Chain A
Amino acid sequence: MADSVTAAAPLPTPSRPADPTAGAAPGRPPDTFVDVRTQELQINMGPQHPSTHGVLRVALWVDGEIVTRADPDIGYLHRCAEKIGENVSYIMYVPYTDRYDYLAAMNNNLGYCLAVEKVAELEVPERAQYIRTIAVELNRIASHLMAVGTYGLDVGAFTPFFYAFREREEILRLLEWICGARLTYNFIRIGGVMRDAPEGWVADILKFLDDFERKLDEFDDLLTHNHIFVQRTADVGVIPIEKALAYGLTGPNLRGSGLRYDLRREAPYLLYDRFEFDVPVGTGMKGTLGDCWDRYWVRMLEMRESARICRQAIAQLPEGGEIMAKNVRHLAFKSKPGEGYVGIENPRGEFGYYLISEGGSSSYRSRIRAPSFCNLSILDAILPGTMLGDAVAIIGSIDIVLGEVDR
């Protein structure tokens, strides 16, 4: 690298015409030039850019203000989590799953544990399943709050971010209470959960939920129907339903395009078939169906649904009972040979875990389907043709977490 710098030719000094009238159009002032050639310019967005939500680099080719081509460059956070999965034992791998999507670590724990439980054929007790549901839905609300809060930041609204973080803080307190960690929980374990709900936890959640739904209305006033925000996001970054499916979009991004597809409804895991909840979809209320505002609005509605599921799970939570499957010897846990795929609904889409086991204490092959990775791949298809300023609004509306994109 150093050689090429020293070997490079000196920069050409900008030359000015000695005569200021040279090149001026006849009959015009001398500083007006007719020769305004434009050329395609390549600019670099990231890897250190506040609106890329991590270390994502997007090479953009622009013609004036219009993006003509985009090439996302990922891999800055690559740790080869799949290789680690082959090298460490099943139980040791749970903390690593926290680190893919660090904003929704509970969901990652759950996806991994469900896959191992499927291959090892474990039966999880009912109380553990309810506690899992409550934890996962709380985590979904926290993750969506982060998504909408930082999305406001991306398009220039600073205040809603603090309102979102105030509520998120409350959820982090509740999750810290049950497992001792604020982001990387390591709470859902193979066969059950780490510990039972402490006394007063459930009552505190109900208190929080009562407050939370009022706060969401406040948030709607601040950001959702804010005229500037709507102008910035409606009709921008439109993804038609067919394109969303073809590019493998899932979660709020797919539902924002108008397809009612939620794995909690289509392929229920845990106890989701016992709860009543709606699957919100985008309707094109402020602009075109599948624009940035629709994706944002789906997340806002989903938080209310998560709160609803939480309430029902708390109401149905059985008193007492086991929280861990029988005969799971954690330190010497061995799985049966087999292979299985489990897909769950993460806040960002379908989180999938494909596990091949040949028996023994570690997996033969761990394959992670990271929703952000698939959602991000649509970027080079939707950015061309948009304004450069909208690129930030579009990337923000897809809501990626780079820890999960790069794994």
Chain B
Amino acid sequence: MTAAEILATLEKDGQGEGLALFAGPQDPALVVPRERLRAVMTHLRDARHLAFDLLVLVTGTHMTEKKDAKSQAIVREQHFEVIWHLRSVRHRCVLAVKTKLPFSDPEVDSVADLWPAANWHERETFDLVGITFRGHPDLRRILLPDDWVGHPLRKDYVYPREYRGINLEVDAPWPTP
């Protein structure tokens, strides 16, 4: 099943409201508005003819503002994207589900209760990109220390100069004994 076929199936099932297709040159994706995310994800998992039972990956991306080179008009607002990759073991296919979040309010519903696999992926996305997952059972940093400041995978991240008394500047002199 391709993303277009899955979109048609969802429309037939009465779940198609607000859905769209992201037609990239390689992998098409299903674009879901964030209010409808839980309903669509639950349907994708539970409907027998879809049966997406394996959550593969959760990705958060910071998309920066993009301007047209000539006219200087803004062609893309600054925003966040969250992409879920799902696999259906029964139907042998993979599907990317995409949601756009405004930059000022990066919050989206958690799917950790639908797929427990999402638990750590969402914690990692929270840790490194700074997207909050509403309803996550235990949302705290997973890879970085709890008192780390900032989210490194944001494009505007500033590398800290010091952490707990450790000098992190690249050209810092070696401490003399």
For residue B172, give the distance in angstroms from its CB to the closest CB of chain A. Answer: 19
Q: Are B57 and A406 in contact (CB under 8 A)?
A: no
A residues near B115, Cβ cutoff 8 Å: 246, 248
Q: Are B144 and A78 in contact (CB under 8 A)?
A: yes
Q: Are B143 and A341 in contact (CB under 8 A)?
A: no
Of B53, B94, B115, the most chain A CB neighbours within 10 A belong to B94
For residue B99, give the distance in angstroms from its CB to the closest CB of chain A. Answer: 15
Q: Are B56 and A337 in contact (CB under 8 A)?
A: no
Of B85, B87, B89, the most chain A CB neighbours within 10 A belong to B87
A261 to B56, CA, bound (A): 14
A337 to B87, CA, bound (A): 25
For residue A396, give the distance in angstroms from its CB to the closest CB of chain B. Answer: 20
User: DSSP majority for the A interface?
Assistant: mixed
Q: Are A354 and B25 in contact (CB under 8 A)?
A: no
B residues near A350, Cβ cutoff 8 Å: 56
A267 to B89, CA, bound (A): 11
**A341-B85, A354-B85 as given contacts; A245 in contact with B53, CB under 8 Å:** yes
Identify B116's interface contact among A336, A338, A381, CB under 8 A.
A381
A residues near B24, Cβ cutoff 8 Å: 338-340
Q: Are A341 and B96 in contact (CB under 8 A)?
A: yes
How many pairs of A and B residues are in contact by the CB < 8 Å rule? 89
Asked if B27 is at the interface (CB within 8 A of a chain A CB), the reply is: yes
**A247-B117, A259-B89 as given contacts; A337 in contact with B25, CB under 8 Å:** yes
Tell me the chain A residues, 333-358 only, with Cβ under 8 Å from chain B. 336-341, 343, 350, 352, 354, 356
B residues near A83, Cβ cutoff 8 Å: 152-153
Q: Are A245 and B57 in contact (CB under 8 A)?
A: no
Chain A residue nearest in CB terms to B29 = A339
For residue A114, give the distance in angstroms from its CB to the closest CB of chain B. Answer: 12
Q: Are B142 and A75 in contact (CB under 8 A)?
A: yes
Q: Are B85 and A248 in contact (CB under 8 A)?
A: no
Tell me the chain A residues, 360-407 only, with Cβ under 8 Å from chain B. 364-365, 367, 369, 373-374, 376-377, 381, 406-407
Asked if B104 is at the interface (CB within 8 A of a chain A CB), the reply is: no
Asked if A182 is at the interface (CB within 8 A of a chain B CB), the reply is: no
Q: Mark B49-73, 1 if CB is under 8 A from A, else 0.
A: 0000111110101000000000000
A341 to B86, CA, bound (A): 11
Asked if A118 is at the interface (CB within 8 A of a chain B CB), the reply is: yes
Chain B residue nearest in CB terms to A340 = B26
**A74-B142, A78-B143, A406-B143 as given contacts; A374 in contact with B117, CB under 8 Å:** yes
Instruction: Provide a sorted-by-A list of 17 A–B residue pairs whose CB atoms are within 8 angstroms.
Output: A75-B142, A75-B144, A82-B153, A266-B89, A339-B24, A341-B27, A341-B85, A341-B96, A343-B56, A352-B57, A354-B59, A364-B61, A365-B61, A367-B57, A369-B56, A373-B120, A407-B143
Across the A-B interface, give the 4 residue pairs with the lowest CB-CB distance, nearest first. Answer: A248-B117, A340-B26, A75-B143, A338-B25
